[in-house]
Amino acid sequence: MITDSSREYRDPTNFSPIRKIHIVLAGILFIFNSAFGSSLPSGAHDAIADDFHLAHDDTKLVLPNSLYLAGFAIGPLIFGPLSEHVGRKPVLIGTFSGYLIFTMACALSPNLPALLVFRLLAGLNAASPNAVIGGLYADILDDPNTRGIAMALFMVVTAFGPQLAPLVSGFVSEISWRWAFWVGLAAGGVGYPLILFIPETYVPVLKKRHAQKMARLGNETHTTHQNLHTQGTNPDTDSILNIFMRPFKMIVTEPILLFASLFMGFTYALFYLYFQAYPLIFQVSVGALISFSLFLLYGSWHSKAVQRGKEWVTQEEYRRLPLAALGAPLLPIALFWLGWSSKASIHPVVPMMSGLLFGIGYILIFMAMINYLTDAYKQYSASAQAAASTLRSCFAVCLPLATNSMYGNLGINWASSVLAFVAIVLAVIPFVFIRYGQWIRSHSPFSQRVMKGQLAGDGPAEGEPVL
């Protein structure tokens, strides 16, 4: 007998608080390991060179990090859309398992080519949370403030991983460079059970499974099957081509996504430039804590404005983007500070302290922009984050290559100034979004579907084609 309760699928937004905390922590642990793995070879640079009989300045030694970042650029385009077809759970479990397997393979690599292949594959799998976690949190946290805090914690943890790994690998590489990867494997193993036991959260997949269950129990299938079309994408009807083309279509047709990705991509590349210049762990760590505090303060102020019925809070852009508008000017200020204080007559700690301003701006921008994309694209957020993640990873790989010659030709002063001028131009993006973002979204195809779905109380309007 089919009871009334069995006719309803389990809504992920109704999970228990403990289950939601479990899912949030699983996402944070995944991204920490992903970020931690990105710079694991850095502290073991000399040990790797000695073992494979290379000069310490051999350009091949940048490849273990560069190929990992290349995997970061490719992976989101696969795993973000895939999570909107087969669900979040199999993608996250499969990719985290892959990350652990290929990290172990790095530790066992018999030669440099093998190490490089395994680093690429490790980075490919480690890229998954960059695309999937925003959608995962949107699945279970329907309150924008709670979801924003979860995403802010996600971003804070992302900033720590690349800075800690070289310190750890530099210490353990005194034994062997392979120990750097054994430590990375151990760090991942600690969080593996949390990821292994996460439930499925993606509503279209849950509805599909529920419809199949009802069919097995002898229930009429047409009603439940029809419901699949009212929430986001439909796992049954989406073709493989449509699934994997979605991030490309979105980056071309959604100006919000394109310019947010360009802004984050440039900021992300600057982070790696700073990271190469000197150790950033103190400056960015303090900056991350300050940024998170500002995020919480603004969130509290926004919530109080909602309760008081202020008109300005009805615009989606005011929930997140003022934080990006606050962080954006800090980037050029930090770059000018770095460039024009890097002189022999000035103590080195002065230019190093520019990293504090940069750290605050960097984290504020990412907290605001990633949350904004998640809020704006809802059921399409994994594809949106996939496109954004790929673009910023390309920036992180390519921009440092150009800036090496730029700094060599122009010197620290003017090379930093050139980057600062670019940062000034890009800094207008959050201000433009605040002023015109709602109008832009109302004239963009994917954003229109999200808005129609919100008016209907669910995903895209029934019968709406899914690209």
CA distance 250 to 390: 13
pLDDT at 280: 58
pLDDT at 222 (0 to 100): 47
Least confident of 189-203, 348-362, 389-403: 389-403
CATH number for the domain whose boundaries are 10-220 = 1.20.1250.20
pLDDT at 50: 87
* pLDDT band at residue 166 under the 50/70/90 scheme: confident
The CATH homologous superfamily for domain 246-436 is MFS general substrate transporter like domains (1.20.1250.20)
Return d(Cα 301, Cα 91) in angstroms, integer.
Answer: 37
Average pLDDT of every residue of the chain = 82
Question: Which of 36-45, 93-102, 245-254 shows the highest mean pLDDT?
Answer: 93-102
The pLDDT value given to residue 3: 46
The band of 2, judged by pLDDT with boundaries at 50, 70 and 90, is very low
* Contact (Cβ atoms closer than 8 angstroms) between residue 372 and residue 327: no
Q: Which of 56-65, 291-300, 323-332, 386-395 has the lowest mean pLDDT?
A: 56-65
CA-CA distances (angstroms) from residue 307 to 189, 303, 454, 455? 44, 6, 21, 21
**Contact by Cβ (8 Å): 41, 103:** no
Mean pLDDT, residues 138-161: 85
- Rounded to an integer, the average pLDDT of 236-262 is 81
Q: Which of 69-83, 145-159, 291-305, 421-435 has the highest mean pLDDT?
A: 421-435
Distance from C-alpha of 372 to C-alpha of 376, rounded to nearest angstrom: 6
Top pLDDT among 228 and 52 is at 52
271-313, pLDDT tens digit by residue?
Answer: 877 766 555 566 777 888 888 889 889 888 888 888 888 888 7
Of 207, 359, 173, 368, which Cα lies nearest the Cα of 281? 359
* Interacting residues of 305 by C-beta distance below 8 A, sequence separation 6+: 312, 313
pLDDT tens digits, one per residue of 63-121 = 888 889 889 888 888 898 888 888 899 999 999 999 999 999 999 999 999 999 999 99
**246 in Cβ contact with 81 (< 8 Å):** yes
| Residue 431 burial by Cβ neighbours in a 10 Å radius (0-12, 13-18, 19+) | middle
Res. 420: pLDDT tops 80: yes
Split at pLDDT 50, 70, 90, the class of 394 is: confident
For residue 72, what are its two tokens? 């970061």
- In 222-366, which ranges are E strands? none
* Token couple for 11: 């809504």
CATH 1.20.1250.20 placement within the chain: 10-220, 246-436
- Alpha-carbon distance of 271 to 248, in angstroms, equals 25
Tokens of 104: 């172990």
Provide the pLDDT for residue 404: 66
Are 434 and 325 a contacting pair, CB within 8 Å?
yes
218 pLDDT above the threshold of 80: no
Q: At what angle do helices 281-307 and 354-377 cross, to 10 degrees?
A: 40
